[in-house]
Amino acid sequence: ASMAADTTTTATCGFCATGCGLRLHLREGQAVGLTPETKYPVNLGMACPKGWEALRVLDSPERATTPLLRGADGTHRPIGWHEAFQTFVDGIRGVQERHGMDSVAFLSTGQIPSEEMAFLGALARFGMGIKHGDGNTRQCMATAATAYKESFGFDSPPYTYDDFEQSDCLVFVGSNPCIAHPIMWERVLRNQNQPEIIVIDPRRTETAMAATQHLQIRPKNDLALLYAITNYLIQNDLVDHDFVASNTTGFETLQQHVAAFDVESVAREAGIAPASIVRAAEAIGKGTAVSLWWTMGVNQSYQGTRTAQAIINIALITGNIGRPGTGANSITGQCNAMGSRLWSNTTNLMGHHRFEEEADRRKVADALSMDVECIPSEGSWKYDRIIEGVRRGEIKGLWVIATNPAHSWIDQSDVRKLFGKLEFMVVQDMYHTTETARHANLVLPSAGWGEKEGTFINSERRYGLIKKVRRAPGEALADFQIFRGIAHYWGVADQFAEWTDPEAVFRILQRLSRDQPCDITGIEGYRQLDACGGIQWPWSEADSQQGTLDPPQQRRLFEDGKFFHADGRARLVVDDIQSMPESPNETYPILLLTGRGTVSQWHTQTRTRQSPVLRMLYPNEAYVEINPVDADELEIEHGQTVRVQSRRGEITVTASITATVRRGQAFIPMHYDVTNRLTLAHFDPHSGQPSYKDCAVRIIPQ
């Protein structure tokens, strides 16, 4: 009874970009439990196991509770904040003085609120003169952002979750929402239209098993398949010619380009029946409300941007955009990946302005009341170039915030070696035990979700509020307070005098958004976000003055057929197919796929492994899925220990014999620390996103 709650409040979940509402049960201001929020327009009373365990992961002995400084013997010892801030400033400034201003970089995250993200980007680039910084969203959403920008004129996912329930045909490409976005999948299950569900995926995922059609293509045949479907739609006059003529450019080029992709030859290459392509194309062409969804199977590919645009092309030429149940819809991964895309101030000037444009620099400088000279005229290097900069000795100092690249970056052993070359490395994180924190000279302990406030932007562009419902342990501080401390010790506190608390920064973000497609000037403030169950961008002053006091709960983009390019038209973009850089051969005959393995774990498990419940729901030891025929040939039994080798490294894991993967392929979940010892560092040339899902391996029984 002593733990009984005396009140409740609602906050957005801090794991994935579904952005569910959680009802927090408070006693004397401290959360003692939670339940899914029944009135929140996103999740309608549902939550996945991670959401249910969101409070538990805060109570961990692995939490960083004081700043830690690495001594000469290599071990970390606790220090106070004054010494930590001074060490930070001396360390970063020291590198800049010895090697030049551009010799320090930061690696940011999609895990912190938009206000902290903006503070970090502004402080680093406008206050501290750090030229290069990028986010871990480069690992998940860069491809979608690049594709949208080129095709629509702005990084603008058009949909609202209601579309899952409104479609009569849903197409999932490289996407497994059953486990990766389970609440979105629940919305699909509520669809009353008896929808056709088409899954394009090399692996027989949980979603593929529940689909009405599964096109189990050979890996990286997705782009050719999408072109073949496009060709079929054009050949069979399943095109919305009025929409194409009025709202797009590039149709003739598209038509000529895809003419080479006939159903028979693409089916042969992809290893599927021609009839399955025809059936899928017919369902798409004849559906009245068709939505196409993609996630990491597309984004994490060396030709990801063009594949995403092939999906966008299909939505455009069939007129499946701007209406209920339609759209070319990228589902986001991290809780605030979209906040990072809009506000991180790395490769784009904050609010999706351009560093290269003087007018944009002036607008941002005015909105921030800063001297325009503070704003550099070029964007940062992308993540892979920053890592390359460490290799070349151009980057000597690194500040890593709420991300774990020593686990998650592609070809992990190489990255770990490179971190050893740095002169000064700071890791700012909730946990002092991450693989990356072990490399740090200085660890700054930060508060996590539930211990601070701010806003996240979910996959459907909804700003949702997170709240402080717990005290952070020990001396851990909200990242916001850490940035304020750094600004003070760096000597630029005056420049950030207005950045007093998250809601003050939210008002700055509103000013920065004015007249952009992501305009949020109509939002009254945190109180309204709380009262409305979050608000989707755009919600401009003009929107808010049109009669309704509160914004509608479900809004989609492009209802008027106008896109964000100057001519109002979307671009139909096509390209040549690229070959896989490391195809299997006699020595390495198996193609390794990686991805999410379970609903209960999150990325590198930094947080989710802190929950005994979540740990129980998933094998703690790494495993590899092997096709039964391959297992027979290799004389491998289910449960046997095997070695998996690539040209980069070797790991020892347990064999799981299953027909979820086709012959010649294997699958290892990304959550395990070992997986990226095998992966090959190659990237999409347009987005810079790593291609995690195609490297050649061999499997040897122990």
Which spans of this chain sit near ligand SF4 (rule: CB under 6 A)? 13, 15-16, 18-20, 43, 47-48, 50-51, 182-183
Residue from 465, 605, 594 nearest 528 by CA: 465
The span from the CA of 669 to the CA of 489, in Å, is 42
Query: Least CB distance from residue 354 to ligand SF4, whole Å?
Result: 32
Nearest approach, Cβ of residue 529 and ligand SF4 (Å): 16
Closer residue to ligand SF4 (CB): 14 or 379? 14
For residue 80, report the phi and psi dihedrals to the nearest 5 degrees: -85, 170
Residues 6+ apart with CB under 8 A from 191: 164, 165, 166, 167, 170
Residue with tokens 């740095």: 422
- Nearer to ligand SF4 among residue 591 and residue 670 (C-beta): 670
In the complex with ligand SF4, the residue whose CB is nearer, 185 or 692, is: 185
Distant-in-sequence, close-in-space partners of 1: CB < 8 Å, separation ≥ 6: none
Least distance CB 48 / ligand SF4 (angstroms)? 3
Helix residue ranges, H only, 369-448? 383-392, 405-408, 412-419
* Displacement of CA 399 from its chain's centroid (Å): 20
Residue 284's H or E segment, with its range, is helix 274-286
Closest CB to ligand SF4 among 40 and 227? 40
Phi, psi of 185 (to 5 degrees): -60, -35
Closest residue to ligand SF4 in the complex (CB):
51
> Where do we find the tokens 């700012």?
428
Q: In sequence order, what are the residues at sequence separation of 6 or more whose Cβ sits closer than 8 angstroms to the Cβ of residue 7?
A: 26
Q: Which of 272, 206, 172 is nearest to 658 (CA)?
A: 206
User: Residue 521 or residue 601: which is nearer to ligand SF4 going by CB?
Assistant: 601
By beta-carbon proximity to ligand SF4, the closer residue of 522 and 534 is 534
Chain centre distance of CA 430: 19
The answer to whether 496 touches 123, Cβ cutoff 8 Å, is yes
**Nearest CB to ligand SF4, comparing residues 322 and 595:** 595
- What stretches of 611-660 show up as alpha helix (H) in DSSP? 612-616, 628-634
User: By C-beta, is 57 or 400 nearer to ligand SF4?
Assistant: 57
Q: Which is nearer to ligand SF4, 183 or 233 (CB)?
A: 183
Q: Please, what is the minimum distance in Å from the beta carbon of residue 50 to ligand SF4?
A: 4
- Residue 672 C-alpha from the chain's centroid: 18
Q: Which is nearer to ligand SF4, 21 or 405 (CB)?
A: 21
Q: Cβ distance 580 to 220 under 8 Å?
A: yes
Closer residue to ligand SF4 in complex, CB, 52/294: 52
Q: What's the full length of the chain, in residues?
A: 702
Report the nearest approach of ligand SF4 to the CB of residue 43 (Å): 6
- Min separation Cβ 32 and ligand SF4, Å: 19
Nearer residue to ligand SF4 within complex by CB, 37 or 360: 37
Rounded distance between C-alpha atoms, residue 141 and residue 653, angstroms: 29
Least distance in Å: CB of 183 to ligand SF4? 4
Residue 618 beta carbon to ligand SF4: minimum distance, rounded to whole angstroms: 14
In whole angstroms, the minimum distance from the beta carbon of 20 to ligand SF4 comes to: 3
142 CB-near residues (< 8 Å, 6+ apart)? 299, 382, 684, 687, 688, 689
Q: Which is nearer to ligand SF4, 259 or 613 (CB)?
A: 613
Whole-angstrom distance, CA of residue 224 vs CA of residue 580: 13
Q: Which of 345, 593, 446 is nearest to 65 (CA)?
A: 446
Q: How far is the CB of 309 from ligand SF4 (least distance, A)?
A: 27
Q: Is 195 in contact with 167 (CB distance < 8 Å)? A: yes
Q: Regarding beta strands 21-27 and 7-12, do their DSSP bridges make them parallel or antiparallel, or are they unpaired?
A: antiparallel
Nearer to ligand SF4, 51 or 322 (CB): 51
Residues linked to residue 134 through DSSP beta bridges, in sequence order: 107
Q: What letter represents residue 297's amino acid?
A: G
Q: Least distance to ligand SF4 from the beta carbon of 228, Å?
A: 34
- Measured CA distances, 42 to 5, 11, 181 (Å): 25, 12, 12
H-only helix segments in 287-409: 296-299, 304-317, 337-343, 358-368, 383-392, 405-408
Between 304-317 and 142-152, two packed helices, what is the crossing angle to 10 degrees?
40
Residue among 623, 628, 622 at smallest CA distance from 659:
628
